[in-house]
Amino acid sequence: MFSVLPAASPLLSVGLGLVAATTWGGSDYAGGIGARRWPALLVVVSGHVVTLVILLAICLASGIPISHRTEFLEAALGGLEGSLALGLFYRSLAMGAMGLTAALTGLLTALVPVLYGLWSEGLPAPLAIAGLLLGILAIWLIAHSPRLDKTRYATPARALVYGAIAGIGFGLQLILFKLSSAGGILWALTAARVGGVLGLVAVLLLSWPRDGRNRPVWKGFWRIGIVAGALDTVGNVGYILAAHKGRLDLAAIVSSLYPGFTILLAALLLREWPSRRQTLGMAVALASVVLLSL
């Protein structure tokens, strides 16, 4: 499956990366809406469990040979450490100073695979280099919202450390997804979900209230979790195909523009308008996409 796609081209990789960015942005929007009522990790793990069951059913029903052990473990490890990074990221946001912390996390999420891609695949064309630099700038402009930090006099050092570790973890996840795609896209997605569910369940068990107070409200959380999980899975498909069919650094930068789509959805559906800084970031992101498409 997915073998009918044409050979690698910058335009194809950018298109698939935009699919990932769009659906990841939609997943974050759905998860953010759910997190206003239920614990965020509870929403995320419900979507992961449901999509894992669906992916397993598809793989088994279609008779697709399971990935080689190396690729399967790479995907599972990516899902596992990515889910742990997610728990750490939520913890850093809970400490305040969301703007700077989210920007640092987003920047490292893109920068780690870009550096790996430059090392493993060599330098791209000059236009692509300019596009990569603009993409990194766009991610910083979109993700860093100083108005979210006004309640704090200074950013807690621990929040930045947690955010940096989470960003590196997300970046390593993108690299591992690229490596594991050689063993088959569907099994890579399924293995990633296996590792992700294990990691999220571990985080939930460690953070679960012990005193009986502040227990989460159970009713209905899984519905928004399924929506977020389904969109996240489609995003994973888009990114893995983009990275598999093209350069890792290009796929990582375009896919990492997903916060812009979350902001657009919030503006269209909730009338939460972006700041001028974020609007500038979206314009820079568009210029980056154009350069990378060339």
Cα–Cα distance for residue pair 117/249, rounded to 1 Å: 5
Query: Tens digits of per-residue pLDDT, 44-66?
Result: 888 889 999 999 999 888 888 88
* pLDDT reported for residue 23: 93
Rounded CA gap, 87 and 198, in Å?
A: 12
Note the pLDDT of residue 55: 92
Give residue limits of the domains in the chain. 10-209+220-293
How confident is the prediction along the chain (294 residues), in pLDDT tens digits per residue?
454 445 457 788 889 999 999 998 888 888 878 777 777 788 888 888 999 999 999 988 888 888 788 899 999 999 999 888 888 887 777 676 566 777 788 888 888 999 898 898 888 888 888 889 998 888 888 877 666 555 544 567 787 888 889 889 999 999 999 998 887 888 889 999 999 999 888 888 887 765 555 555 566 777 888 888 899 899 999 999 998 888 888 899 999 888 888 888 888 887 778 788 888 888 888 888 888 887
| CA atoms of 234 and 240, how far apart (whole Å) | 10
Tally of residues, the chain: 294
d(CA 221, CA 228): 11
What's the N-to-C CA distance of the chain in angstroms? Answer: 28
Q: Are 258 and 235 in contact (CB under 8 A)?
A: yes
pLDDT digits (tens, 9 = 90+) for 66-122: 878 889 999 999 999 988 888 888 777 767 656 677 778 888 888 899 989 889 888
